[in-house]
Amino acid sequence: MNPTSSPYDVAVIGGGPAGAAAATFLSRAGHRCVVFEQAKFPRYHIGESLIPHTHGILDRLGLLPKMRDSHFPVKHSVRFVSPEGTESTPFYFSETIEGDRARTWQVERGEFDVMMLENARENGVEVRDAAVKEVIFEGDRATGVRLNGATNGEEVKARVVIDASGRGCTIGRQLGLREELKDLRKATAWSYYRGGKRLPGIDAGETTMFMIPGGGWFWYIPLPNDIVSVGVVADPDYLLGKSDNLEEAYLREVALCKGLSARLANAERFGPVRGSRQLAYRNRQTCGDGWVMIGDARAFLDPIYSSGLYLALGSAELAAGCADAALKSGDVSAAQLGAFEPALWEGVGVIRRLIHAFYDPQFSFPKFAERFPEQRAALIDCLIGDVVGKDLTAFTAALEQMTPPPGPLGG
């Protein structure tokens, strides 16, 4: 045991995009921040497609010049391809957003996450190579973290602990708050190809979604160096049955999906097939006295709308704003730290409705846009991530005419 004498204002568990962003904002606001990251960066991570609404946050983090100078493919649109191979017209983000904000990037996460964490360091954040074993509580209140590994047992005190540990869900597991979302039971398997077909012009960086029969889909995300990320998401019983052979299931589905296999005709797969049988979860409680969860440490629903990184950065910025106010006022209660949560959950609720709509076999976006042309702009707003603090009542009412709303989250 070696408790540090001078406590930090903020201890962040995890140096992924959420943790790096929250620490950057809080350090800039004058707070002493430490980030604990257990992995040696650059480390591999899935989640490569940004949505345009991250633009403002990347701007406020000061990262836009680096993104513009990067070799990450620029993404202007999303396109859906039916199981029969019929392609929708691309949903260009420029239909609802003007100028530079109408484009975003497909990122190689090892590189992107290093950029984010370096930016945190440049903004005065201390980054330590260490795994957090657990959060220290005095009564119900978080007062710091206890480390694992080389400094096993070291205690680091902080006035606020931010859990940004991604799917690790440090606090969620410690307090037994994490639960699988049974209404969004999906499995996934993915891998990488070199030499997959790229579309011409501004469509070269688009995300293409290939639907497969039975409600599953593939992502096709062009990355730097002629690499494409290709992954399938589907019902676990359909995709894997009782087997856990991800590679077999993945290769079978690639071969069955005609539109996709045509794009991969001259491509070569490399690296392992990765994946998981269960994607969706949430924590029943996401903040408390002295602590708050952000990014995937809060919840993860489904990768269909590529909203993970946006929600990671968005929740980081919102939580940082509340933590800043809480630290300055000397009141780090759950009410202060979690003041952003109702608006965020409402936005996540809209994304969740769209996820359910997507998996409803009676529903399709092209059909929705045809029946409710006046809602096409709202649909694109949702696809770009512009859902927090927005009135989308008319949009969700139109959606309800084509697909029933889901029950309560976790219900």
Ligand X SMILES: Cc1cc2nc3c(=O)[nH]c(=O)nc-3n(C[C@H](O)[C@H](O)[C@H](O)COP(=O)(O)OP(=O)(O)OC[C@H]3O[C@@H](n4cnc5c(N)ncnc54)[C@H](O)[C@@H]3O)c2cc1C
Instruction: Summarize as ranges the residues that interact with ligand X (CB under 6 A).
Output: 13-19, 36-39, 45-49, 131-132, 164-168, 170, 188, 231, 279, 295-297, 303, 306, 308-309, 312
What's the chain's length in residues? 411
Report, in Å, the least distance between residue 35 CB and ligand X.
Answer: 8
From the CB of 196, what's the least distance to ligand X, in Å?
Answer: 16
Closer residue to ligand X, CB minimum distance, 37 or 317? 37
Nearest to ligand X of 203, 402 (CB atom): 203
CB-nearer residue toward ligand X: 184 or 309: 309
We find the least distance from the C-beta atom of residue 171 to ligand X, in angstroms, to be: 10
Helix axes 17-28, 109-122, angle to 10 degrees: 20
- In the β-sheet with 216-223, what is the strand arrangement from edge to edge? 91-92, 77-81, 207-212, 216-223, 227-234, 187-194, 268-276
| Closer of 134 and 203 to ligand X (Cβ) | 134
CA–CA distance, 158 with 373 (Å, rounded to integer): 51
Shortest distance in whole angstroms from residue 290 CB to ligand X: 17
Query: How near is the Cβ of 304 to ligand X at its closest, in Å?
Result: 9
Pick 47 or 73: Cβ nearer ligand X: 47
Q: How far is the CB of 401 from ligand X (least distance, A)?
A: 29
399 contact partners, CB below 8 Å, separation of at least 6: 353, 354, 357, 368, 405
Nearer to ligand X, 306 or 375 (CB): 306
Pairing status of strand 132-138 against strand 141-147: antiparallel
Q: Please tell me whether residue 17 adopts helix, strand or coil conformation.
A: helix
Using alpha carbons, select from 42, 206, 61, 217 the residue that is nearest to residue 125.
Answer: 61
Question: In angstroms, what is the minimal distance from the CB of 384 to ligand X?
Answer: 12
Residue carrying the six token digits 């990671």: 312
Q: Which residues pair with 126 in a beta bridge?
A: 34
Compute φ and ψ for 114, nearest 5 degrees.
-65, -45
Measured between its terminal Cα atoms, the distance across the chain in Å is 42
Q: Which is nearer to ligand X, 19 or 290 (CB)?
A: 19
